[in-house]
Amino acid sequence: MTDASLVVTDLRVEFSGFVAVGGVSFDAHLGEVRFLIGPNGAGKTTCIDAITGLSRATGSARLGGRELLGRPVHKIVRFGVGRTFQTASVFDELSVLQNLDIAAGRHRPAASLLRTRRGVDASIEQALEETGLAGELATPAGILSHGQKQWLEIAMLLVQDARVLLLDEPVAGMSQDERTATGGLLQRVAAKRIVLVVEHDMDFMRRFATRVTVLHQGKVLSDGTVAEVQADPKVQEVYLGTAGAATTAAMSVVPEAAGTPQRKED
């Protein structure tokens, strides 16, 4: 992997005069699980939309030496930027293996996807193993659990050799066991790829984030480690005022290992 950093500088997104993102800067690097958090409407998903070409923006978003802003969506994908949405986008009627075949672009005719095949491509085998889906390759995607569908989406990005994974609320609706498994998966993936997570689940953030950027009203409110961010009086004020005592309490205790590398509301 040569593109080891995603650097976003002075990102601005406006919709008919409304400033959704007003000069946001942050970076994400290989080897860390990077989080964007903030109240509803803070601009988190809009940042991801801008980076992936779904929303027009000014400023800069550079992956290694390449500028992403202003590029069409398909070219950004070719640069190695992949994303997931809050609702998993998989082909429910096809098997896990067939979904991965399509994602990997194996250039097989559509009808052949329904036939018995010989062998599995090495990249697909690796993605199945990494995401814990090795035992589900023949399972129709539609009967997977909610968590497994999210893992399948991540596996689809892995077989596309995405260098950057932008994940929009990946653990929403998951069981506690699935949240834990997903955190471990993101840590494994981050060893070789840039991982940026948009998330509301503060407990998940505390357990698995390496660094955190807090957004509020389209601007950066705070940035740093989990401990630094939750100790920031500005963050405490915002969450006390808008997210309720439960969210603040969830941010108030940092496990000993927190910060160690181990889809649209906006």
User: Mind listing the pLDDT tens digit for each residue in 64-76?
Assistant: 889 999 999 999 9
Read off the tokens for 262: 């181990």
Quick one: tokens of 115?
């036939």
- The answer to whether residues 47 and 24 touch, using CB atoms and an 8 Å cutoff, is yes
- Report residue 146 as tokens: 């909610």
Q: State the Cα–Cα distance between residues 88 and 189, nearest whole angstrom.
A: 18
pLDDT at 185 over 90: yes
Rounded Cα distance, 2 and 30, in Å: 10
- Taking the C-alpha atoms of residue 60 and residue 7, their distance in angstroms, rounded to an integer, is 8
CA distance 3 to 156: 20
**What does the alpha-carbon distance between residue 130 and residue 151 come to, in Å, rounded to a whole number?**
9
Long-range contacts of 114-120 (CB under 8 A, 24+ apart): none
pLDDT of 110 over the 80 cut: no
CA angle, corner 200, sides to 134 and 49, nearest 5? 80
Looking only at the bridges linking them, the beta strands covering 164-168 and 58-63 are: unpaired
- The pLDDT score that the predictor gives to residue 112 is 53
The answer to whether 37 and 212 are in contact (CB under 8 A) is yes
pLDDT of residue 40: 86
- Domain range for 72 is 5-80+163-250
Distance, CA of 228 to CA of 211 (rounded, Å): 9
In-domain check, residue 158 = no
Asked whether residue 133 is assigned to any structural domain, the reply reads: no
Signed CA dihedral, 70, 39, 183, 257: sign only: positive
Quick check: is 91 in a domain? no
The answer to whether residue 95 is domain-embedded is no
Residue 241 domain flag:
yes
Query: pLDDT category, 120, cuts 50, 70, 90?
Result: confident
pLDDT score recorded for residue 256 = 42
Alpha-helical runs (H) found in 198-260: 202-208, 226-230, 233-242, 244-250
**CA dihedral in degrees (130, 75, 87, 20; nearest 10)?**
130
Compute the radius of gyration of the chain from its Cα atoms. Answer: 19
Summarised one tens digit per residue, pLDDT across range 195-231 is: 999 988 888 999 999 999 999 999 999 999 999 998 9
Structure token pair of residue 34? 């990077």
Q: How many domains does the chain have?
A: 1
Residue 85 is predicted with a pLDDT of 86
Determine, yes or no, domain membership for 46. Answer: yes
At residue 266, the pLDDT reads 61
* Contact yes or no for 163/81 (Cβ under 8 A): yes
State how far the Cα of 229 lies from the Cα of 220, in Å rounded to an integer.
11
Give domain status of residue 201, yes or no.
Answer: yes
**Which of residues 48 and 109 earns the better pLDDT score?**
48
In a domain? residue 193: yes
Average pLDDT, the chain: 86
pTM: 0.84
Place of tokens 């010989």: 118
User: Residue 104: its pLDDT value, please?
Assistant: 87
**What CATH number is associated with residue 179?**
3.40.50.300
DSSP state of 114: G
Q: How confident is the model at residue 118 (pLDDT cuts 50, 70, 90)?
A: low
Task: Give the contacts of 221 (CB within 8 A, at least 6 positions apart).
Answer: 38, 214, 215, 232, 234, 235, 238
Q: CA triplet 262, 265, 163: central angle to 5 degrees?
A: 40
